[in-house]
Chains A and B, each alone.
Chain A
Amino acid sequence: MPVILATDLIIYAVFLATVFLAFSAGRGDGYLKQVWRHIRKDRLAVASMLVLLAYGGVALMDSIRWRDPVVAEDGKMARTAEGEKIFSAEPLSLLDRALSGVKEKTEKTFSAPLARRLFVKETMEPQDGKAVGAGLQVIRDYPPLKYPGTHLLGTDKVGGDVLFASLKGIRTGVVIGTGTTVIIIPFAILFGVMAGYFGGVTDDVIQYVYTTLSSIPGVLLIVAFMLIFGGGGYEGGLVTERNLLWGFFVPGDRLFWLCVIMGITSWTDLCRIIRGETLKLRELEYVQAAKAFGVSRPRIIARHIVPNVMHLVLITLVLQFSGLVLAEAVLSYIGIGVSPQMGSWGNMINTARLELSREPAVWWNLASAFAFMFALVLPANIFGDAVRDALDPRLRMGRR
């Protein structure tokens, strides 16, 4: 039984948009092709793009998921009294299935990268042949791992593989980085264009709304919102075909609501930019000409205004990406981000930070979470700059 989370839809949308952009950039001689030519000259940007695509691929793999039916003891499908099939509570994604070998190799607790023994000493029975003196004697030593030398980045407190946990964090990072902007794009375009094109009362009202929103301290808004809506999401229990919306769609988990509220706080910027651009476009000759020909206003907006603000949307999307990924980690760290069960770098850092005070310190959890985050954010920054320069050289100056 497939399971689609609202956040999966975001990933699918981003995936489709990427395919569409790649397709239109690769063919014909349009605007996007020129943009791509500009980016292609920058080797660093191309390398960054490849890294981003790899991250995107992992995120996509982690967003295709389905539940396996529970198999009863007699080998048949487990069914409820009413004859409904019972499915396992946890849907497994393509990534989980591909890496099930890594996922299931759990140890007892911490172990260093590629270690052969556990990180903490345990009281244990002496092994055969090593026994000294009486048979009852026990020794304290580092017990050998169940799977020695296979944990590339070590294991965490409950013995889970750190590499696997870091890979699971990728989806969360990508969803926050893209989803936040994707969710607000329709609203930002609609209101921004309306404010800029219609002017008058419409403009006043929309400006009032976004000034009000941006006057509220962003962090406070996020904290309050997450406390109110953060409880949402599927809580577990017996999973049958009936108790999910349309059988497979999960409307909103904490990650989704986090995207929504961060979208609301960052919506104002995009809306303001689009409004400004529309004000400029409205006075250009081709729009005036369309108006003189008697083209209707919705048509002018759809044909002449919206396509000409889309580059701003793209720029905002790539420029906001890195900041949002970093913000997710901070928010999860202070406990208002994604749910603690969800794989995310913020959660990894949160659970691992106190272990630094051990002697010797447990550093590999933190190090891999930070490394994975860094390896996403750095290419995003570089690629973002390249895209901005290619799409709009005028914006190169004066913006962060």
Chain B
Amino acid sequence: MTDDPEDRATPGAGAPIAEHRTRTRETIGILLTNRLSAFGLVVMGLLIFTAVFGSMVAPYDPTSVDIPARLSGPSLDHPFGTDNLGRDVFSRVLAGARVSFQVGIVAVGISLTMGVVTGLVAGFYSGAADAVLMRAMDMLFAFPAILLAIAVLAVLGPGITNAMIAIGIVYIPIFARITRASTLVVKEELYVRAARSVGASDLRILRRHILPNILAPIIVQTSLSLAFAILAEAALSFLGLGVQRPTPAWGRMLAEGRDFVNQAPWMGIFPGIAVFVTVLAFNFVGDGLRDALDPKQKSVIESRGRAV
């Protein structure tokens, strides 16, 4: 029952968690009133729908070759034209959404898990663990993102799974730094010290008291990282190191389109727009989330309305 001493001693800890439900509602409210992030949410919904059901909606099989119809411009039959093998660009763009999302979500999942765990441990325990872990993060941070991904792929070999791992590794340090910084602040809060004083285990404190209260910046970063990851996947596939033939991927289509940019610009224009719109949507949502969740940013906006 509630004889657990900690449960009785931590009414203060209940407050921030209970606050969460109303805050979630408030956050969604703010997101929807912000026109840009509302737009981002709608586009994101459409893209997810495309990623899941795209193959059913697509007018053609994205991999079916039709040499006689090759390099034909946008028309009613082929709204985005056809490529050098006569494949329907529209169907391929729809199909490309799936790979982009797959890679993006798995890669960010890797960065998120590894980064948050690293940051929590470094921030919570300080001292030697902190020093070692954060120096390791510094090391990863010493490479420009795309170069690090390429170097990882050089070792692992090209391919979609390895691209996910490579991109995942690249964005670990960002999550680690954000998590560590927030943990350092939250662990000094009264409710954490209260929980500790009644003998709650470290794991319990981390899970019950710290993690729920540092979610805001992590959520914001997740949305922004998804944008970066999708961009990175497209870049790697463009370079031929990510998704391999014949799977339709936006980056690959762009690379193929590059050779025909003079004869058939639509081969490159449409997959590029697809990447652009996807990244834009995630950025809009990320910015909206930051306005709604991040108290520091919020204070900057509101201080202008609150008389210094």
Do these two chains really belong together in a complex? no
Q: What is the interface of chain B, defined by CB distance below 8 A to chain A? A: none
Q: What is the interface of chain A, defined by CB distance below 8 A to chain B? A: none
